[in-house]
A and B are shown apart, each in its own frame.
Chain A
Amino acid sequence: QQQVRQSPQSLTVWEGETAILNCSYENSAFDYFPWYQQFPGEGPALLIAIRSVSDKKEDGRFTIFFNKREKKLSLHITDSQPGDSATYFCAARLTGANTGKLTFGHGTILRVHP
């Protein structure tokens, strides 16, 4: 059972455009949602994260929009740059999980053409 789903599987945008990456989940007990950026051959790097008490989190060109009722969130990358080309993973953590267990989606491959 895939508890965290991401779409699209891959996305291509032109430099300067806004890329929108989607994530949905099934378990309403998830309360923390980090997004990771991964370049080929490297470990994932934390990009931005949001808690379920918020509906928006912004950090520079990266913004998470969160809809708790619909169990959906999206990552918006404005003014996309070729250096943003990477795989982006949405993850989710259960409320009160002191183990910190994260459930990951399958990722979205983003390509930004110059």
Chain B
Amino acid sequence: AQTIHQWPVAEIKAVGSPLSLGCTIKGKSSPNLYWYWQATGGTLQQLFYSITVGQVESVVQLNLSASRPKDDQFILSTEKLLLSHSGFYLCAGGQDTQYFGPGTRLLVL
């Protein structure tokens, strides 16, 4: 069975500070990987997807970047956080069926 681990569980960061969120997926080789953002009480907005190691496609521009350094790892980052980056970040794996991780709660002050 596929499992997704995200870290950290939660972060409180200052505006202008850097950020790095991580995701690992176990139980499936060469999965498609995705990053989503969810505002409190809102829908899920896909940010990035990756079909293979080293390849990442951006879906929306939010002053964020993503990288896939390993087959089972997906990283979301920015050098300068904005207030609008606050929210719930979710990593998902799969193609036909996407399975989500537990998420990382981010609060930017």
Q: Which of A11-19, A74-82, A101-109 contacts B (4 or more CB under 8 A)?
A: A101-109
Write the nearest CB–CB distance from B21 to chain A, whole angstroms. 13
- CB-nearest residue of chain B relative to A109? B41
- Total residue contacts A-B, CB cutoff 8 A: 52
Write the nearest CB–CB distance from A7 to chain B, whole angstroms. 14
Task: Decide if B102 touches A89 in the complex (CB within 8 Å).
Answer: no
Task: Decide if A104 touches B32 in the complex (CB within 8 Å).
Answer: no
Q: Mark B68-109, 1 if CB is under 8 A from A, else 0.
A: 000000000000000000000010001111111111010000
Task: Decide if A43 touches B94 in the complex (CB within 8 Å).
Answer: no
Besides the known contacts A42-B103, A101-B46, A106-B43, 10 further A-B residue pairs in the complex with CB atoms under 8 A apart: A36-B100, A41-B103, A44-B90, A93-B96, A98-B95, A99-B32, A99-B57, A100-B96, A102-B44, A104-B45
Which A residues lie at the B interface, using CB under 8 A?
Answer: 32, 34, 36, 41-46, 49, 89, 91, 93, 98-102, 104-107
Q: A46 is contacted by which of B43, B51, B98 (Cβ under 8 Å)?
A: B98
Task: Decide if A34 touches B97 in the complex (CB within 8 Å).
Answer: yes
Question: Which residues from B are CB-within-8-Å of A93?
Answer: 96
Q: With A43-B90, A98-B51, A100-B49 known to touch, is A89 a contact of B98 (CB < 8 Å)? A: no
